[in-house]
Amino acid sequence: MFPLLSSSTTNHRLRRRRHPPATAYSTVSALPSQLDPAKKEFAQELFSYTDSFNKAIRSTLKGDADEAGTAFDYLETSLSKFDDGPFFLGQFRLVEIAYAPFIERFQPTLLDFKNYDITAGRPKLAAWIEIESFEEMDRNEAYNQTKRDPKQQVESYRQRFGAAL
């Protein structure tokens, strides 16, 4: 996890995270020139969906709505769109980097809080999690610095959303 830094212009209780250097993912291309137009368009759609995905899961954790199933079904369908590899666009791209932290945090949290297995009935998502994406992500030092122990992550969400659970 990146260290938290105090901002000299704000109250010391407010913190901001440092981001990995721009070169951290320089070997991964989001939209390489050889990517066909359909994949470029779909990549933009997936990037645009990250906020909606995050809000749907957080809404489920807060108890406001049960939108997690729909959000994970969208990812399962997205992983089925191209058949030239196990990733969203077939090959490992920045789309994986955009979604991996969410999945890595929400999977154990939803299992613990709601007894909800995000991979049940979603074989593409299960394969993406278990075999492909996280192995690829674990090779990246910048990504590893953002990881938390799953038990610590669950406890963090428990403190944040405890009343709703």
Average pLDDT of adjacent 10-residue blocks, the chain of 165 residues? 31 33 44 76 95 95 88 97 90 87 91 93 93 70 77 82 61
In the chain, domain spans: 40-164
Q: What is the pLDDT of residue 152?
A: 82
Query: In Å, how far are 12, 123, 160 from 6, measured between CA atoms?
Result: 6, 43, 21
Q: Which fold has domain 40-164?
A: Glutathione S-transferase Yfyf (Class Pi); Chain A, domain 2 (1.20.1050)
Q: What is the C-alpha separation between 85 and 75, in angstroms, rounded? A: 15
pTM (two decimals): 0.73
